[in-house]
Amino acid sequence: MTENPHTSTMESRIRQSYASLSQAERKLADVVLSRQREVLGYSATELASLAGTSKSSAARFFRSLGYAGYDEFRQALRQAQLQQSPLGRMAGVRRKDSVAQQFHGHLKLDAQRLQEWGQAVPEAQLEAALALLRKARRLWVVGYRHSYVTAFYAQSLLAQVRSDVCMLNDAAGREADVLACASPKDVVLAVDFRRRSAHLPQVLAAARSAGAKVLVLTDAPASALAMQAQLVLRCGACSPQGLFDSYVCAMSVVNFLAATLAQQLRAGAHSRLERIERLHVALKDLEHQL
């Protein structure tokens, strides 16, 4: 692998190498992904012990990612973590183009993200996601920090085409109250974008303990939540370009899933949408539009 450790993310390197890793190396990859916030505090020997692998397996793992060894990996990871924040990226965003040029460049980059991601999404994953959303008795949606916007959008669209779609997390912090009602017939749609919430894995573990199925929507090339999920649907890889991350792929797939689910639940969705429109008229809560 010829990439410089400082110009490619640890997650993207693991994604590119994961299929060729040995079973022992995959265990180490899973530990690294699940402990990204803490990994800098471990030695290579400690990481190998956590993964139940040998120190020699750890050395081969870091070399397979393109690093000379653990020290170089840790240095690259430290630098990458600094660059994840808008503050860390701001030093690299220096534009001399006009506002119009910057705007068109921004649109071009989003269009490129959509095209590349759209070509990479397996149809089987979309069908599996729709099956989970369609068959669930009750659908819980959860997302923290920046993920909350996409989660809220997903809940608002899905709730229009099927009943029993609720946000799991809200301002009142009622996750425990809500999860007490979860059952094996329920599905949790979890949105997980960087910078990731440390609380989400705990919430999903609690949902899984109640038997609920989990569908993860993420920008991570290799998600640390995969072991808790029936399905991981990736919404475009993280990109270091620009001051803030783009969620255009996530918003697009949420819109697609809701619209396609409405088609699959055609009679029920039509009836629900009809009732919603009648209530809007009765409540007079929408501005009249021609």
| 99 in a structural domain | no
CATH of the domain at 27: 1.10.10.10
281 pLDDT above the threshold of 50: yes
Phi, psi of 179 (to 5 degrees): -65, -20
- What domain count does the chain have? 2
| 232 in a structural domain | yes
Q: Which of 84, 99, 123 is the last residue of a domain?
A: 84
Q: Give the three-class secondary structure for 164.
A: coil
| 187 in a structural domain | yes
| 60 in a structural domain | yes
Give the Cα separation of 140 and 211 in Å (integer).
13
Give the model confidence (pLDDT) of 34-91 as tens digits: 776 667 777 888 888 888 889 898 899 988 888 888 888 888 776 665 555 556 555 5
Give the model confidence (pLDDT) of 236-280 as tens digits: 755 556 677 788 899 999 999 999 999 999 999 999 999 999 999
207 pLDDT above the threshold of 70: yes
Beta partners for residue 166, in sequence order: 140
Query: 129 and 189: one domain?
Result: yes
The predicted structure's pLDDT at residue 48: 87
Q: Which residues contact 22 (CB under 8 A, 6 or more apart)?
A: 57, 60
Give the model confidence (pLDDT) of 81-118 as tens digits: 555 555 655 555 566 778 888 888 888 888 988 888 88
pTM of whole model > 0.75? no
Structure confidence at residue 130 as a pLDDT band (50, 70, 90)? very high
The predicted structure's pLDDT at residue 155: 96
Q: With contact defined as beta carbons under 8 Å apart, do 142 and 191 qualify? A: yes
Q: With contact defined as beta carbons under 8 Å apart, do 73 and 79 qualify? A: no
